[in-house]
Amino acid sequence: MRSLLVFFSLVFTVSTAWGQEFEVYVSDAGNFSNPPWQILKFDQNGENPEVFINTNLAWPQDIVFLEDQGIVLISNLNSGTISRHDAETGAYINNFAQGIGGPTRMKIGADDLLYVLQWTGSERVRRYTQDGAFVDEFTSVNVPQSIGLDWDGDGNLYVSSYNGDSVRKFSPTGANLGIFVNSNLAGPTNIWFDDNGDLLVSDFDGTAVKRFGPAGNYLGVFLSGLSNSEGVAILPDGDILIGNGATASVKRYSSNGAFIEDFIPPGSGGLIRPNAVVLRNLEAESEFFINEGMIDAWYDPDTNGQGFFITVFPVLKQVFLAWFTFETERPPEDVMAILGEPGHRWVTAQGSYEGNTANLTVFVSEGGVFDSPTPAATTDPAGDGTMTLTFTDCTSGLVDYDIASLNLQGQIQIQRIVLDKVALCESLSEP
């Protein structure tokens, strides 16, 4: 049992599967206040660029998808408008809001309102309902050339000032709490909080992303090798995408700050100057959601005698699976086994889930002896292939597998062996 627990811990440590399918959208500022301008779309590998929008733009800034309405919003600094477009085709519909002093960043807050920053005008944070109705100016103090916003764990709002080289803090009600950061910055753009509660600031003119502690104290450079950095997105595995205007690219860094690659190569799709990088989860509107009510034994009636044990960890957003099956070909009749029979096989898989889909890494353990600590079983941490679980409801699903070492792919339709947990599953299947 201990070796199984050690193995289970190992699997949780090494799994890197992304639990969702997504697209990457990049706002291209072109020549700043002069065209060309465009919104580009890439696949989740940063490839296959497409022009998503190239009309009704005026120095485009940020991108916000409102999936339940099937629309996407684009803030346009030159025209003072937020334009509304079809989320699938990019076709212009109308203006969501107008009369704004150079709208830059936009984010949906915890109150489900759209928060919008202003580069000019009153330079205060504006709020809108998701149908475009103006609510109020949330803050009473202006932040000149504001272009980055985020909230801390207590709901306080932070706004960066490009020409002020600073970040200002506001309470959850919009009250001014003063300047939070006023040193070690040279043109801050995007800001965001990491899991440790530190504030990360993309420094457009400072060639780096810098880290600041809970009191606004400078903790040093987090990401280096940047120039004119603007536009940030966090990948499902924790890696960071950041636009790099000087090279017309989007760079990828690990969650600990190490450079990995040019995720979107220089000039791909005609990219000139990225100033927003946004992920769109393609599975966000799944009608069914994996939950702990899925924990059960599952099988395909056509292959009775083999099947799956599936376990869901909702806090970790992880699925663990044990697959009890047989060898791909029957062993010779003279091959003997002491416990069970020589054709028995068991495989495990583990990974993250989102919506109705789990993306797992397949693992094979070998070398152990029944109920004995020696010899110790071994498991290749790189895994031996992939598996995708897709559930349509609480009683049926599909297993797609790809065993790398055998170049073996296939699909298995599965259902529960017993129905005791269906009611629990259905009660938990809402998002």
Q: 229, 141, 218, 136: which is closest to 185 by C-alpha? A: 218
Give me the pLDDT at residue 353, please.
92
43-to-133, 388, 405 alpha-carbon distances in Å = 33, 19, 27
Looking at the structure, give the CATH architecture of the domain made up of residues 2-15+287-428: Beta Barrel (2.40)
For the chain, helix (H) and strand (E) counts, in that order, are 2, 34
Give me the pLDDT at residue 382, please.
87
Which fold, 22-281?
Neuraminidase (2.120.10)
* Contact by Cβ (8 Å): 37, 28: yes
* SS3 of residue 419 by DSSP: coil
* SS3 of residue 11 by DSSP: helix
pLDDT tens digits, one per residue of 174-212: 999 999 999 999 999 999 999 899 999 999 999 999 999
Tokens 């989860």 found at = 281
pLDDT tens digits, one per residue of 249-307: 999 999 999 999 999 999 999 999 999 999 998 864 447 889 999 999 999 999 999 99
Q: What is the layout of strands, in order, in the sheet containing 157-161?
A: 146-151, 157-161, 166-170, 176-181
Domain with CATH 2.120.10.30 in the chain: 22-281
294 by Cβ neighbours in 10 Å (0-12 / 13-18 / 19+) ranks as buried
* Alpha carbon 81 to chain centroid, angstroms: 28
Average pLDDT over the chain reads 91
Q: Which amino acid is at 149?
A: L
Q: Identify the segments of the chain with pLDDT beneath 50.
A: 1-19, 284-286
Domain with CATH 2.40.128 in the chain: 2-15+287-428
pLDDT tens digits, one per residue of 146-162: 999 999 999 999 999 99
